[in-house]
Amino acid sequence: MPKRILAIDDNPFILEALQDILEFSGYEVATLLDGNLVFETIGDNPPDLILLDVMLGGLDGREICSAIKESDRTQNIPVILISASHNLKDSMHQKGCPDDFVAKPFDIDFLLNKIQSHIKAA
């Protein structure tokens, strides 16, 4: 059974590219343009990993990540934050922090290696 990834970004072109790359690599992918729907989308069948953009229109992906990590139901789902404008390396050990960070533009192989390492560890 393929591992499932939820990708959240407010840019439909980035989501489409991520979906194509991840599906080609053998993952099952769900996408979201609206971070407000993350807990609705996770429901009773959580993904194996979440890719989450930091800048989501009027939302901050870091706050969504913190909510995911603080919920008993979702705290063990690996979250990789993606950002072109924020460097999160300094805040990677704070409460509610993501499991990893990837800067945009990202190298596809680098991203796939990060995903694979977190899915194997989960």
Region of poorest pLDDT, from 2-6, 25-29, 68-72, 95-99: 95-99
pLDDT over 70 percentage in the chain = 89
| Dist. CA 46–CA 87, nearest whole Å | 27
pLDDT number for residue 91: 55
Domains in the chain with CATH codes: 4-121 (3.40.50.2300)
pLDDT number for residue 116: 95
pLDDT number for residue 122: 60
Tell me the three state secondary structure of residue 119: helix
Position 94 confidence tier, pLDDT thresholds 50, 70, 90:
low
Residue the block writes with tokens 């603080």? 70
| Mean pLDDT calculated for residue range 23-39 | 94
24 CB burial (10 A radius; 0-12, 13-18, 19+): exposed
